[in-house]
Structure 1
Amino acid sequence: MAKSLLNLDEASEWSGIWWLPDDPDQPLPGVLRYSPDDGLVLSLIGAFEDRITSTPSPGLTVLHEGSRNWDVIQGIAEQQEISLLSCYPSSVQRTVGARVKSPDKQTVVAMTALVGAHVSDEDDAVFSAAEIAVEDLQFWAASSVFEGFLGAPDGKIDGTGSISVTPVQTRSVLVDGTEFRLQHQHTLPFFDQSKGGTVGRMRDTAFVRVVPAAPFSLDGAREAASLVQDLISLATHRAAGMIWLRLEVAESESVLLPGGRPKPKRRADVLYTPTALGRNNAKAVDHHRVFFTCASLPFEEVVPRWCEARDRLRAATSMILGLRYAPARYVETNLLTAVGAAEVLHRGLRIDEKPFPPANFKAMRDAMLAQVPEMHRKRFKGVIRNDPTLRDRLHALAARPDQDAIALLMPDVDRWAGRTTRARNDLAHEGKTPNHRTEELIAIVDVTAAVIILNVLHELGLPAERQREIVREHPQLRSTASAAGEWLVAPADAP
């Protein structure tokens, strides 16, 4: 790539001039600073008019309470176009009436910065591709440009060896007109010489390149980034932080330089506050904690399945992945989230089975309503429904993944379904769960979340044997199965 990437976990700074799109002839000098903790802050010498005023009559100006926000501020800094989106003034220092006249100073906070392009708003469709890097994508890709060799003649390491670099072939798949590519980029060899020694290094980075059929906007790029982020979060069973997001400006490659050479593609880095911030140099995920990689579910197969499943089951996957991104501190919140996700997933899978044949149910309901006073009949009619109960839904979800995996996860599906239903109903209708100990509630939450995850993995086509391996070997699911064996088994003296 032409210039170094802007990682979201690294601070950056740009000095330049800035203006409002509807007043480009009044630019102001200033410095834009970005940091993971403080976000995007523009310090201006001078000030954009942020006061809300009106002129009821000539020569009379009235100031109203509040201040003006700006959808876009544009600038040029460090030989790049920059667009700041969703901006608001955080402070202003004016010198009206001061003894010595000096420039005003203003601080503006922006929600998003595009470093490398000017846009009119977040819906401006001027990009042709998005390149996305998230945490643990390299491990999930199950490929690398590096290969190491150790010299070991006669089976004894002799101190010789080498690291070879072989470009990795791009993997690609087309989904509803949008191309998804799994690509690698690597740096050239570099020798870092210090007083204490020399370190030779290169860096291999895996990323996903998304190329829609038509130009798209910043909002579309963020949606593509979210899709990739959620896939890696599901695969690794942890929050997958965004490391960087870069966009390619549409049609920039069609411009020719003198001599007929194509002009280099123009790219814009996106700086914003993602759902989870990726740490570029943090230690990679432990392989024991990963559900699947491209070695077990090929990229060309899992991406189309994930796009379809995420679209169809989005509410459920968002709820269950939310426990990875922002785990709640209270078991009651987790209980409602996990059980709610299970209900939403069951509906999204479209596997509802009516408890009674529709014709029989209508006759039954009419017979019951005939016994209700007419003034209350409308209310009762809305309550009497031919829908499966929560317990029915939980049983149906447990019946979909590999049954050996479910058996490893919990020994008594009926007990889990019954205790989960009672816990949810007690909490929703009475505001407390007096019939459950905290340890049992935790087991209910973890087992329910695991059943949802196994269902999603089943939808993605994860082989049955791998489902069993996950329950047997993943540390968290192994702990969940142990808790289920302790808390979700019917007592020996139960009827």
Structure 2
Amino acid sequence: MANDPFNLDEAGEWVGLWWVPDAPDNQVPGVLRYDPEGGLSLSLIGTFEDRITSSPAPGLTAYQEGARTWNVIHGAAEQREITLLGCIATSGKRTMFARVKSPDKQTVTATTAIIGAHVSDKKDAAFSAAEVSVEDLGFWAASSAFEGTLGAPDGKIDGTGCISVKPVEAQSVVVDGTEYCLAHTHTLPFFEQRKGGTVGRMRDTAFVRVTPAEPFALSAALKAASLVQDLVALATHRAAGVIWLRLEVAGTESTLPNGQSVPRRRADVLYSPAVLGKHDAKAVDRNHVFFTCDSLPFKDVVPRWSEAHARLQTATNMILGLRYAPARFIENNLLTAVGAAEVLHRGLRIDEKPFPKAEFTAMRDAMLGQVPEEHRDRFKGSIHNDPTLLDRLRSLAARPDQDAIALLVPNVAYWATRTTRARNDLAHEGKTPKHSFEELIAVVEVTTAVVILNVLHELGLPRERQREIVQEHPQLRATSRSAGNWLEPPESDS
């Protein structure tokens, strides 16, 4: 349908006129093409001036090395305004000295396209709302417009049944003046006649609508899309790609002569998100999900995630990277997992100084008094009143539900000690001679799971659900078995 958002995993083409905003009368015909893998490419029949010139003397033009780029190119195609951002000419052909005159050609690539609006740059506050759909959002929402029934008189399925549609009530919450709304939209019934039979179908799509109190820019919309994307990725423990992003253009609402209001004009955003969503791909397996809106309601998790996202994003990105783009060598994964734990501990702002401030200052001053003055600054820079890695790991293990932690790693002290030893040996000696390959795998998996449980705990996931995750999630069940096999002290040490 023409009003449907443009899916980022589908190709598109727009034929129109294009110009640079500071030269609107120089309009060049061309075709904008979007490909999910190749991105945005504008093929012009004609050229924008991309040569860098100077005038060293009157009447003299000098051409310099390099080429111009354009922050913005505007266009009009398919009866829609189009803005291209981050534009670079990648190829061109001029024919001024050719025997047979033919049109010049130029190809321009862009990082982002806004199909439906002209804006001056990414910071132009031209929009009033953003709507985003990401993979597995409908499953995470734990709601659907569809209900199905099967006829089974006397307990036997008789071949009858129905699929019914009931609009889903939107859920919304306001965070710092911005409204987040979880909503559904569904298509009308459609019957497709095929040679081998008839297919009847409808589509229910979940999306999040973000409405700030004041008009906002594309950069803010991309940030809001990332917020939703990262939340669903955390909840489903898999990469959640952006399927589509649509904006409402501020100031475009109107009223018909009969008094009926006309909605604001909408614009589709074409860009390359961190993960590209596949709108027809198979949904996540329910056994692989950490939580849905059933266990952590939308109105509760969004304010908590909005507050924690910036603080915890680095740690969660590192952990997701271990799941979806793991390094080939266990040493890299070890540094990533332990690094995520350290980053998370700092992000949680846990104030755990090993020594009281006054006591530490006195000890530091006494030590510095024994150091020659020419080395004092260097020595002072190496003295910190910060917890050690061992302290941080123990602290993280003490935060989530302790029954869940006990199920995951029976001996927290031994895990923390062996993890610290492995990281320090690798960082300081370049190898881990006192750890077997299997033990290093266990260290990485347990540390990763402890980080995950901490993030879920920070979002307020109920303790009962934390235990269920360790018991039921395939990855965490395997991690628990690995911890029992490789992270228990030898009998001679017990």
Please give the residue correspondences for 1:85-164 in structure 2 after superposition, counting only pairs within 5 Å: 85-164=85-164
- Name the CA distance, whole Å, in 2 between partners of 1:82 and 1:233: 31
Instruction: Report what 2:222 is aligned to.
Output: 222
- Name the CA distance, whole Å, in 1 between partners of 2:113 and 2:151: 49
- Name the CA distance, whole Å, in 2 between partners of 1:335 and 1:352: 26
Q: Note the C-alpha offset of 1:492.
A: 1.1
- Name the CA distance, whole Å, in 1 between partners of 2:304 and 2:169: 22
Q: Deviations over 1:58-103 (max 9, x none)?
A: 2322111111110011101111111110010111011121001111
Asked if the contact 1:230–1:321 (Cα under 8 Å) also holds between the matched residues in 2, the reply is no
- Name the CA distance, whole Å, in 1 between partners of 2:371 and 2:48: 68
Deviates more, 1:430-439 or 1:320-329: 320-329
1:24 aligned counterpart, secondary structure: coil
Stretches of structure 2 lacking an aligned partner (at least 5 in a row): none
- Name the CA distance, whole Å, in 1 between partners of 2:338 and 2:83: 43
Residue 445 (structure 2) pairs with residue 446 (structure 1) = yes
Q: Deviations over 1:129-149 (max 9, x none)?
A: 110100000100000000011
Instruction: Report what 2:357 is aligned to.
Output: 358
Please give the residue correspondences for 1:2-151 in structure 2 after superposition, counting only pairs within 5 Å: 3-151=3-151
| Paired residue type of 1:474 | H
Q: Deviations over 1:354-390 (max 9, x none)?
A: 2222233233333333332332222222222222111
| Paired residue type of 1:220 | A
Residues 202 and 251 (structure 1), Cα distance of their counterparts in 2 relative to 1, 3 Å cut: same
- Name the CA distance, whole Å, in 2 between partners of 1:264 and 1:2: 15
- Name the CA distance, whole Å, in 1 between partners of 2:360 and 2:22: 64
- Name the CA distance, whole Å, in 2 between partners of 1:483 and 1:385: 35
TM-score w.r.t. length of structure 1: 0.97
| Paired residue type of 1:58 | P
Q: Output the aligned Cα RMSD.
A: 1.5
The number of aligned residues is 494
Q: Note the C-alpha offset of 1:473.
A: 0.8
Deviates more, 1:140-149 or 1:155-164: 155-164
Q: Note the C-alpha offset of 1:186.
A: 0.3
| Paired residue type of 1:478 | R
Q: Note the C-alpha offset of 1:327.
A: 3.1
Residue 432 (structure 2) pairs with residue 433 (structure 1) = yes
Q: Note the C-alpha offset of 1:2.
A: 6.5
- Name the CA distance, whole Å, in 1 between partners of 2:460 and 2:214: 30
| Paired residue type of 1:181 | C
Instruction: Report what 1:405 is aligned to.
Output: 404
Instruction: Report what 2:333 is aligned to.
Output: 334
2:40 aligned counterpart, secondary structure: strand
Instruction: Report what 2:384 is aligned to.
Output: 385
Please give the residue correspondences for 1:259-408 in structure 2 after superposition, counting only pairs within 5 Å: 259-324=258-323, 326-408=325-407
Asked if the contact 1:275–1:325 (Cα under 8 Å) also holds between the matched residues in 2, the reply is no
| Paired residue type of 2:482 | A
Q: Note the C-alpha offset of 1:325.
A: 5.1
| Paired residue type of 1:113 | A
Instruction: Report what 1:167 is aligned to.
Output: 167
- Name the CA distance, whole Å, in 2 between partners of 1:290 and 1:460: 15
| Paired residue type of 2:350 | I
TM-score w.r.t. length of structure 2: 0.97
- Name the CA distance, whole Å, in 2 between partners of 1:119 and 1:326: 36
- Name the CA distance, whole Å, in 1 between partners of 2:217 and 2:327: 33
- Name the CA distance, whole Å, in 1 between partners of 2:426 and 2:181: 46
1:128 aligned counterpart, secondary structure: strand
1:428 aligned counterpart, secondary structure: helix
Q: Note the C-alpha offset of 1:9.
A: 0.4
| Paired residue type of 1:357 | P
Stretches of structure 1 lacking an aligned partner (at least 5 in a row): none
Q: Note the C-alpha offset of 1:262.
A: 2.1
Instruction: Report what 2:247 is aligned to.
Output: 247
Asked if the contact 1:122–1:219 (Cα under 8 Å) also holds between the matched residues in 2, the reply is yes
Q: Deviations over 1:411-435 (max 9, x none)?
A: 1111111111112112222222222
1:405 aligned counterpart, secondary structure: helix
- Name the CA distance, whole Å, in 1 between partners of 2:217 and 2:105: 33
1:227 aligned counterpart, secondary structure: helix
* Identical residues among aligned pairs (%): 72
